[in-house]
Amino acid sequence: MLPINSIVVFFALGFSSPLGAQVHDHRSQPQAGIPTEAGQAAFAAIREIVAILEADSTTDWTKVDLEALRRHLITMDRVLMESQVVSRPIPGGIELDVTGPDPVSAAITEMVGAHAGVLDRDPMLRGAAGPIAGGVRLRVTAEDPANARLVGRIRGLGFAGLLATGEHHSVHHLAIARGQGGSAHQH
């Protein structure tokens, strides 16, 4: 049997070693058998934003509005997962009728028109949207309709891919969460 002093030293060494730290520090690297995904996508997106806000010593917590971000993510989910999309090839690109019942149609109107503007700011693309019954008609074409590869890319991306196009989403979500004028209605 080990004397008490030996047991204390044994435990102290065990907990101060890298292995001991990994076993007992839940903030350390992922461990086998412990999930790394925070849950469904909206939860994971909010969790990531919270981590960014907490790591930033300049975060003004009096302006943080994670509820606005949550509402925006609900809108995004409705548009992506619940809308009906009818796609037609047009010269130089694609035309998409994106519709759905309320509240999906309201989400479509809010997001798709704004995203058309984002696509239109891409020098290679032309994006335009207009209202139709129950939603929006989105037209996306290549700046150069003779560019068969780009036209093929536009058509291949389809609605979901075009909606995900652009590097603005993460910055937009952080602005919404920070309460910095990035409303849930803007892209």
Task: Answer yes or no: are the C-beta atoms of 98 and 130 closer than 8 Å.
Answer: no
Count of CB atoms situated within 10 Å of the CB of 180? 13
Residue pair 84/99 in contact (Cβ under 8 Å)? The answer is yes
DSSP 186: -
Indicate the pTM of the whole model: 0.74
pLDDT of the residue at 38: 67
pLDDT, tens digit, for every residue of 166-180? Answer: 877 888 899 999 998
- Residue 93's Cβ-count burial label (10 Å; 0-12, 13-18, 19+) is buried
Per-residue pLDDT tens digits for 46-72: 999 999 999 999 999 999 999 999 999
- Flag residues of the chain having pLDDT under 70: 1-31, 37-38, 181-187
CA distance 70 to 140: 28
Domain coordinates in residue numbering, the chain = 1-36, 66-178
